[in-house]
């Protein structure tokens, strides 16, 4: 298989054989998070498929993970430096932070959509509501009493929270954190009352009864929370956003190399090990062609721009 990949990887900027040395997957967040977990699962499968060592390099920092993303956007387009991150790092971060000098479409070569998991609206059980509509009414009747946390300014949970507040006409206070872990800790302690994040992060606390799920922010119900209504069914069709992980190369990477990595990635996503691991995270393996993922990125970039504008978030 490695020999076949090498023969296919020809063209401007491509070596006669690919790969011939170690491949790095840059994850723009600390070790232990969903992006890092999936990157290491994928690297383990890609190494034998591509015939070279594939390592994961955590490069956190910057606004919304922008340091790692910038590093890949500026890397040599030779297939040896790749990016694995939430789609929002490319589609939303440039919209909510000033001086982010990369573009979701032009600055990266899409390889594959890896996984997707819905976001979930939850509250601390002390909040006297059991539905999203009740939360809307409670927030309107108690201005400033609902503090909603997020994993950081400009993340999808932040955008969704602001959009919810604007949609219902409620005064709510945003409390940004440096990641999901401290936000969930404060939510459990009652320091914030509402939170939105991926089911990957929240499912254990929901199943333990420590958090109350009000709605799944997706078009269709989640198989992992079958009894929880969608935001659309709850009366908020515009409040939809999934947590998706994408795999990217620098712009200008030869199409033959991108296709080779895409093929190996799709094979990895079909493995029982990765499927089972993603199911434990409440996520679904995706995959598909490079063209499919390019179309997904274009649609997501437009949807993100519309949602950020509707939420009234000004760049910082």
Q: What per-residue confidence (pLDDT) applies to 168?
A: 94
Q: What per-residue confidence (pLDDT) applies to 64?
A: 86
From the list 252, 292, 306, the residue with the least C-alpha distance to 14 is 252
Q: What per-residue confidence (pLDDT) applies to 16?
A: 58
Tokens 């949807």 belong to which residue? 303
pLDDT truncated to tens, each residue of the chain (316 aa)? 343 444 444 444 444 589 999 999 999 988 888 899 999 999 999 999 999 999 999 998 888 889 999 999 999 999 999 999 999 999 999 999 998 989 999 999 999 999 999 999 999 999 999 999 999 999 999 999 999 999 888 888 999 999 999 999 999 999 999 888 899 999 999 999 999 999 988 999 999 999 999 999 988 889 999 999 999 999 999 898 889 999 999 999 999 999 999 999 999 999 999 999 998 888 999 999 999 999 999 999 999 999 999 999 988 8
Q: What per-residue confidence (pLDDT) applies to 280?
A: 85
Which pTM value belongs to this model?
0.87
Give per-residue burial for 33-53: e unless 16+ CB within 10 Å, then b: bbbbbbbbbbbebbbebbbbe
Q: What per-residue confidence (pLDDT) applies to 32?
A: 82
Q: Could you tell me the domains of the chain? A: 2-116+242-311 (3.40.190.150), 118-216 (3.40.190.10)
Helices (H) and strands (E) in the chain, counts: 12, 10
**3: buried, middle or exposed (CB in 10 Å: 19+, 13-18, 0-12)?**
exposed
From the list 235, 186, 243, the residue with the least C-alpha distance to 211 is 186
């Amino acid at each position: 298989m490695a020999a076949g990949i090498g023969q296919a990887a020809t063209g401007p900027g491509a070596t006669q054989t690919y790969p011939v040395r170690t491949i790095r997957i840059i994850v723009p967040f600390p070790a232990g998070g969903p992006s890092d977990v999936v990157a290491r699962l994928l690297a383990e499968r890609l190494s034998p498929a591509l015939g070279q060592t594939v390592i994961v390099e955590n490069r956190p920092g910057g606004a919304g993970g922008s340091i790692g993303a910038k590093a890949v956007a500026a890397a040599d387009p030779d297939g040896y430096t790749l990016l694995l991150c939430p789609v929002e790092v490319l589609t939303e971060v440039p919209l909510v932070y000033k001086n982010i000098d990369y573009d979701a479409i032009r600055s990266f070569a899409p390889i594959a959509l890896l996984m997707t998991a819905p976001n979930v609206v939850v509250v601390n059980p002390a909040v006297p509501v059991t539905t999203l509509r009740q939360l809307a009414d409670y927030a309107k009747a108690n201005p400033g009493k609902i503090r909603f946390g997020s994993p950081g300014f400009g993340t999808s949970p932040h955008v969704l929270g602001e959009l919810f507040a604007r949609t219902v006409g409620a005064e709510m206070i945003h409390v940004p954190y440096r990641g999901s872990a401290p936000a969930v800790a404060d939510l459990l302690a009652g320091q914030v009352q509402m939170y939105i994040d991926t089911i990957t992060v929240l499912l254990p606390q929901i199943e333990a009864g420590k958090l109350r799920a009000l709605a799944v922010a997706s078009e269709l119900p989640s198989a992992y929370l079958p009894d929880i209504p969608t935001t659309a069914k709850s009366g908020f069709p515009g409040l939809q956003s999934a947590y998706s992980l994408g795999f990217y190369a620098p712009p200008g990477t030869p199409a033959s190399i991108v296709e080779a990595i895409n093929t190996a990635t799709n094979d990895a996503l079909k493995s029982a090990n990765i499927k089972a691991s993603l199911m434990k995270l409440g996520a679904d393996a995706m995959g598909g062609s490079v063209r499919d993922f390019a179309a997904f990125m274009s649609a997501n970039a437009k949807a993100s721009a519309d949602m950020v504008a509707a939420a009234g978030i000004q760049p910082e």
